Amino acid sequence: MIQRIQSLYLLLAAAAGVGTWFLNIWKATVNDGSIRYFNAQSSFIVFLVLMLIVGLALFCIFLFKNRKLQFRLTILNILLSLAAVVLQYFKVQDTANELQASGKLITTATYLPGAFLPVLIFIFLLMAARGIYKDEKLIKSLDRLR
């Protein structure tokens, strides 16, 4: 059934993943007055991992008849979202190091709200996995009663 709460969580995770494609993650002001942004599209690997997370979340919505596979793929997606958070951090550090290696001094640098969307993806996927697990547990208990 598509109207289950975990389907909503999976949809919210996918929407947050799409949001990361368009929002800036990091902003740095360089000593010459220019501003440098980092977003998911700045790095192919970050963009690819986020695309995979969104695609897998949308795919899992329609696996409601096979809860075991849906649960496993959601757990895989949780691991991918953790990888996205770590990868995003290291790519921002690489961007900052490239700026400093080119002789530019970063005067201010800050993470923007788009940087926290992968954390939201992680939370939504955890909640979806919990809902799928509860459904599976309920079905098993009903099978015992028959």
pLDDT digits (tens, 9 = 90+) for 113-127: 999 999 999 999 999
The predicted model scores a pTM of 0.88
C-alpha 10/C-alpha 57 separation (Å) is 5
For the segment 88-114, what is each residue's pLDDT rounded down to a tens digit? 999 999 999 998 898 888 889 999 999
pLDDT > 70 fraction of the chain, expressed in percent and rounded = 95
Q: Tally Cβ neighbours within 10 Å of residue 55.
A: 13
What is the helix (H) or strand (E) element at residue 62, kind and residue range? none
What is residue 102's predicted lDDT score, i.e. its pLDDT?
Answer: 87
What value does the CA radius of gyration of the chain take, rounded to a whole number of Å?
19
Q: What is the DSSP letter of 42?
A: G
